[in-house]
A and B are shown apart, each in its own frame.
Chain A
Amino acid sequence: MLRRALAAMWDAEKALRALTPKVALAPEHKALDAIKELQQAERVYLHKTAFVPPPIKEEKRMSGDMDGTASYRRAQMEGGERVPEELRLLVQALSSDGPLPALWTRSAHDWVRGSIPDDDGRLAAQGAIQDVADGCAPCRQVLRAWLRGGAGQGQVLLQARSTVETPFARAWREGGAK
């Protein structure tokens, strides 16, 4: 990954020396993506060396000296939100004809500026913000789509499957268990 980042930076450098910053932009983005990916990775795996450790003997495991060690407990960390709360409220408000939250244009502009890299898309989103501010009701759906698009693809959330326990389903299950 580092090698990829470095190669992309050299490409950018080449273009910058030729005084063509536009051409340099694409490899710069590539290098930035690689660096960000590396930065966000908590652990980096390297190819293992020739040494293969012997399997741990269960009778020896946990038999060491434990001086100075102690159990510990911690509270669960809060899960990070990918989409800010104020934006979620704004998207929710845009799905109805009701009033929008206070200072919504500022948060919408901030979000659009920070999350839509494409110039055309950003301009269209800013146009939709203006349209909604001018009272265009059908434009609310369009703005909602731009704001949602800024969040990109969602994240897979591990979850339970919701089920409804009807009398029929209960009787079916109990009948099957017999």
Chain B
Amino acid sequence: MNQTLMLALAGLAGIASAGLYAWRRKWIDALLVLVAAIALGLFAAGIRVPGDGGRIVALDPAAPPPALEGVRGFSVQGDGLRAAQWHDLPALPLQWQRPQGGAMRLDFPQQVALGRSFTLRLQREDKFDARLQLLAENGQPIAEARGAGDLSVTWLPPLAERLLLRARLLDKDGKVLAEGPVPVHVHAPAILQVQGRFGAPSFDLRTLNDLLGSSGALLDWQVVLGRAITRSELPREEMKEPNLLIIDAAWFERAAASERAALLGRVAGGVPLLVLGANANDPGLWSRTIGLALKAQPADAKLAGPLALAVAPLNPAGRVTGDWSGSENLVWTRSWQQGRIAWLGAGEWHRRAITEPQALALWWQDVLDSVGVERPQAVEWLAPEELPLPGQRMELCARGVAGEVGFPGLGLSRTWMPHTDSACVAVWPEKSGWLQVKDAKAGEYAVYVYAPGDWPQWQAAQRRDATARYMARTPVKALDGAARAFPAWPFALTFMLAMLLLWWRERRS
């Protein structure tokens, strides 16, 4: 029955009965009826009073939370709980004091392509002098950095393989402050397939050709040497789908309109185009064809940075001009329907080819990344958001997967649960080490499960972050407004006593 209706009925019955007793001048009985009716009404209304409703449960990070019946909030000591543990709890106010100091965070890619640098960054709250070492499996240091505050080490892996490196942080006396595993997958690089068309030979072109060739790229290269003389280089194997077009400004300026239209048509279809702008000569043409407003640059201008490359004679006037936006390494880009066009406003890089070959290659890789040279792949594994630990729930996510995924080490098979831009599965690893994953589409993969004692300071930082995130969901202020149920039994007792007294008085009369 509706609560309001019940209250109305109780009120009506009480008033009618009290009226009848009053009409017979039985004032005490009328009063008893009124008391009984009011008590019944309050019993049925289920009165709630503002203030302290329910109880606060102290959470133990090591043990699962107890029953949550009547719980109005949590309290936790120390670093708090892991994100996976918080996800299993309802959003309730949390009482927690964030500990200060003693935490550190590590940041490194779990997967890196061969030929790209692997960088391990360590962010710490303590700011004294320390040394960070990256160690191979034989304990030999392969990279080292020292200093106060945050530290980072960089290493170029020479082979594509799955590695379990170690990192350690030492103080200035050589005492180990922290040490733990660093799992990395070094996979094969996404080979470039480059079509180059150039209107004039130069040392820069030769250097670029060498850089690309030694990187294993497939090259279809044509350089106009004279009026009817061309030097061509054919790819060493069939180039199915070029993923980068490179031209120099001279080629574009001398090309026929139909050739330019055909090139821009290919770019519109999705192939990125890089224009080497060092030998540009006709600003009007660039403005008309691709909307690039060029301005003469001061002579002997140099690119800021360790390479100090020469700035091209003609470059866009500012970082952002029209549809074009520039970056620090003198690359301006714009989208062109499905593709992109990039203008490289630097030159004379061949002067760095012998003295600083690695810095030059890294600069060129930055340029290619700015251009947006991409190779589509079917699947991408995502790194777990927090350290996977044995016995703790781990969420494994990937892009481009669907259907079933198997965990041979656990004898488990799970179905990918689709998220916004990825799909995830949850598993509880049993032991530390590599956990094998088998997916029909993605093939074999392994995710590293850390031991409970690995990187305690990093685990502490992750717990603190997860706890702070949970705490932000429901502020403690919400506790003030939490209502609690007023006990109903006094009303029931009053009603019963009033009715018994009335019954006794009726019997006596």
- Do chains A and B interact in one complex? yes
CB distance from A56 to the nearest CB of B (A): 9
The answer, yes or no, to whether B289 is at the interface (CB within 8 Å) is no
Are B156 and A154 interface neighbours, CB within 8 A?
yes
Q: Which of B138, B217, B377 contacts A164 (CB 8 A)?
A: B377
CA distance A77 to B189 in the complex (A): 19
Contacts of A64 in B (CB 8 A): 226
Given contact pairs A77-B213, A95-B162, A155 touches B156 in the complex (Cβ within 8 A): yes
Q: Which of B219, B368, B380 contacts A162 (CB 8 A)?
A: B380
Contacts of A82 in B (CB 8 A): 158
Q: How large is the interface on A (under 10, 10 to 19, 20 to 34, 35 or more residues)?
A: 35 or more
Given contact pairs A149-B138, A156-B362, A161 touches B400 in the complex (Cβ within 8 A): no
Contacts of A145 in B (CB 8 A): 136-138, 140
The answer, yes or no, to whether A66 is at the interface (CB within 8 Å) is yes
Are B137 and A141 interface neighbours, CB within 8 A?
yes
How many A-B residue contacts, CB cutoff 8 Å? 184
Smallest Cβ-Cβ distance to A165: which chain B residue: B376
Q: Which of B115, B218, B374, B400 contacts A155 (CB 8 A)?
A: B115
Question: Which residues in chain A, 147-165, are within 8 Å of chain B measured between CB atoms?
Answer: 148-149, 151-165
Given contact pairs A66-B228, A157-B189, A151 touches B365 in the complex (Cβ within 8 A): no
CA distance A125 to B166 in the complex (A): 19
Contacts of A144 in B (CB 8 A): 137, 161
Contacts of B379 in A (CB 8 A): 164
Contacts of A148 in B (CB 8 A): 136, 157-159, 161
CB distance from A172 to the nearest CB of B (A): 8
CB distance from B183 to the nearest CB of A (A): 12
Are A75 and B115 interface neighbours, CB within 8 A?
no
Contacts of B137 in A (CB 8 A): 141-142, 144-145
Smallest Cβ-Cβ distance to A138: which chain B residue: B137
The answer, yes or no, to whether A52 is at the interface (CB within 8 Å) is no
Are A95 and B421 interface neighbours, CB within 8 A?
no
Interface window among B20-28, B125-133, B233-241: B233-241
What would be 29 A-B contacts, judged by CB atoms less than 8 Å apart? A58-B281, A66-B226, A71-B228, A71-B229, A73-B231, A74-B232, A78-B236, A121-B140, A148-B157, A149-B140, A152-B158, A153-B158, A157-B113, A157-B189, A157-B216, A158-B215, A158-B364, A158-B368, A159-B113, A159-B191, A159-B215, A160-B191, A160-B244, A161-B190, A163-B375, A163-B380, A166-B422, A168-B420, A169-B421
Give the B-binding residues of A (Cβ under 8 A). Answer: 41-45, 58, 62-64, 66, 69-80, 82-83, 88, 91-92, 95, 121, 124, 128, 141-142, 144-146, 148-149, 151-166, 168-169, 177
Name 13 extra pairs, CB < 8 A, besides A71-B225, A128-B138, A160-B191.
A69-B226, A71-B229, A76-B233, A144-B161, A148-B158, A151-B158, A153-B156, A156-B215, A158-B115, A160-B243, A162-B190, A163-B374, A166-B400
Give the A-binding residues of B (Cβ under 8 A). Answer: 113-117, 136-138, 140, 142, 155-159, 161-162, 164, 189-192, 203, 211-219, 221, 225-236, 243-244, 281, 335, 351, 354, 358, 361-362, 364-365, 368-369, 372-380, 399-400, 420-422
- 10 nearest CB pairs, A to B: A157-B115, A156-B361, A73-B232, A154-B156, A145-B136, A151-B158, A145-B138, A154-B158, A145-B137, A159-B189
